[in-house]
């Protein structure tokens, strides 16, 4: 659609950030009347701490949380992989949305930022669901696949230990 009037120009960037709403006022209204009042306290605390950290623009938007949580519950997710943790807002949100025996493999090369959010995972009582891997994603995913095929071979009796 090159040249079409639907193309987003640099000056429209902030408008495009509003997604479907296309109005800062409406977006603000939805945040204040629906999103923030329903955001669990521990997520609110993590959001506030994260706003004092370097690169806090990377934090996931508050209105993405309820949608992610709904989708995780709809598909009855038990195991997830989080690629790109930062301080762990979406990680904590996922951990709160999974059942008690749910598991998350969380991958990020930046352990320092993960540790900013770790006390909030503990406070919410969901730390046991998270297995943090300090790495960039691709080699960590390759290793997970390798381990999975080893386990499958063991299950089928291809390897004797
Ligand atoms: C946009 S932030 C993630 C936001 C986070 N999900 C949240 O809810 O706040 C991106 C993160 O990806 C990490 N990252 C960058 N390159 C990566 C890679 N190749 N593999 C895994 N994580 C990576 C960065 O260290 C950073 O913490």
This prediction has a pTM of: 0.85
Task: Report the mean per-residue pLDDT for the chain.
Answer: 87
What whole-number distance in Å separates Cα of residue 159 and Cα of residue 161?
6
Take residue 146 and report the two structure tokens written for it: 């390798």
Where would I find the beta strands (DSSP E) of 5-160?
A: 79-83, 103-108, 130-134
- Beta-ladder partners of 108: 134
What's the pLDDT score for residue 40? 96
Q: What's the total number of domains in the chain? A: 1
Residue carrying the six token digits 């996922």:
94
Residue 159 pLDDT > 60, yes or no? no
Whether pLDDT at 30 is above 50: yes
Per-residue confidence at 151, pLDDT binned at 50, 70, 90?
confident
Cβ of residue 58 lying under 6 Å from some atom of ligand 1: yes
Which domain, by its residues, includes 130? 24-159
Kindly state whether residue 11 falls inside one of the protein's structural domains: no
Q: What is the pLDDT of residue 143?
A: 96
In a domain, residue 93? The reply is yes
The verdict on residue 125 lying in a domain is: yes
Is 7 a domain residue?
no
Structure token digits, residue 142: 């390759």
12: in domain: no
**Residue located via tokens 């038990």:** 78
The answer to whether the complex's ipTM is over 0.90 is: yes
Looking at the domain assignment, is residue 17 inside a domain? no
Write out pLDDT tens, residues 64-86. Answer: 999 999 999 999 999 999 999 99
The finding on whether 114 has its CB within 6 A of some atom of ligand 1 is no
Domain with residue 115: its CATH number is 3.40.50.150
Is residue 13 included in any domain, yes or no? no
Confirm or reject: Cβ of 62 under 6 Å from ligand 1: no
Expressed in angstroms and rounded, the spacing between residue 158 Cα and the centre of ligand 1 is 37
């Amino acid at each position: 659609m090159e040249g079409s009037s639907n193309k987003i120009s640099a000056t429209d960037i902030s408008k495009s950030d509003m997604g479907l709403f296309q109005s800062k006022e409406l977006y603000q209204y939805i945040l204040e009347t629906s999103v923030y009042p329903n955001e669990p306290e521990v997520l609110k605390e993590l959001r506030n701490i994260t706003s004092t950290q370097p690169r806090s623009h990377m934090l996931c938007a508050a209105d993405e949380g309820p949608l992610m949580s709904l989708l995780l519950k709809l598909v009855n997710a038990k195991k997830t992989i989080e690629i790109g943790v930062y301080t762990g807002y979406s990680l904590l949100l996922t951990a709160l949305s999974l059942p008690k025996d749910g598991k998350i493999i969380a991958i990020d090369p930046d352990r320092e930022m993960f540790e900013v959010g770790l006390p909030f995972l503990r406070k919410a009582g969901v730390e046991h669901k998270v297995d943090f891997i300090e790495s960039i994603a691709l080699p960590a995913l390759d290793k997970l696949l390798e381990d999975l095929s080893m386990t499958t071979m063991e299950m089928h009796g291809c390897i004797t230990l």
